[in-house]
Structure 1
Amino acid sequence: MIDTVSTADLIAWIRKFRDAVQEHRDELTALDSAIGDADHGSNMARGLDAVVAKLDPPPSSAPDLFKVVGMTLVSSVGGASGPLYGTFFLRMGPVLTGEMDAAALGAALRAGAEGVVARGRAEPGDKTMIDAQMPALSAWDDAVTAGKGVAEAAAAAATAAAAGRDDTEPLVARKGRASYLGERSAGHIDPGAASSALLFRALSDALAARG
């Protein structure tokens, strides 16, 4: 079992995230059309295309990688998604300065999510991307506590993120554009939670593909 990740693994993750967003672009936009500005899919797809274009030559370290990813998303993704996802990756980088085992990567992911919380001032239950990210991190931590490696932790996190995404459907939005709809925001999955579920599924797929 491979219990650490390399910078190349993390680059593969970002590429898979881009591919997943492209594949689900119309779905993300449809979700956003119900409770937002109908641009989440197109904005994320454009931003991640810009990110991948900057990965050749590949960054030499995880901090360098996530600085490139974060800054590119902030500058190329419209609306709230760019700053929020950009903050997520920018906060991850400084944490990954040593061996990248399951605990270290989990700590970096948590730093990223906490950055999103600080920037967006959202809490669990507000019907935002945090509602997918926080369950994923809890599942990751549980896997680490149980002695699981990075691939198993990522798989558990991906499953929890998908459940968190689905759990946003009945919620009434309390943050962002969707909050303007009040009770009418209930009955729709949050698009940011949906893209966050793709983020964790992409990480799981990238690590599982290592063999």
Structure 2
Amino acid sequence: MTHRIVQGLPAKQSKAMEEIRYIPYPVVNLIFDKPVFTKGYDTWCPGNTFTDFIVADWVIRKKPGYEPKYNILSCYTPLREDQRSELLSEPSARRVAGSVLRDFQKLFPGSNVDPMEVHIYRRGHPLYISTPGLFTQTQPVVRQPVDRIFFANTDCEGPVSTTAGAIKAAQRVSKEVEHKLAGKPAPKFDKTAAVFAG
């Protein structure tokens, strides 16, 4: 999207930005008023609409005095690129959430697990697809500053989209901005080690 908004990008950089592909990745929360599943943090479910689900309060459930009010299970639901449009309207997003619920209920036959609520978080571009050359060829071109415009996002750093990558991108851009404001040449960036030199 950036290549459509920022004017004056070099052609090579604009093309590199266009080459980054993203996977639509909604998360569907199933909210129950009783414990439905508490046996593990992350449970993989191959062959379903969703890849896995997590118990949302897993990290705090062992705290003394913690009384869970609900059992919230977050189902991670990657879609194909051509399914992105399913997240654009409420009826089609409801169908995605409905498919997740049906598949989840199949995992517990005869248990009558009906959630109180089902929430879908429609994130159409949260994760980029690691394609050949992305880390070594595309990202170094994408993240080059253009005059006073600097690029920091998870899709500018590393082979996978992570919070650590976003922090690294922010740190890199902070250095680039400091150098720009001080009238110094841009810092040298080691593409493979992902650290600054100098």
TM-score range, shorter chain: under 0.3
TM-score by length of 1: 0.26
Higher-helix-fraction structure:
1
TM-score by length of 2: 0.27
Higher-strand-fraction structure:
2
Radius of gyration: which is bigger? 2
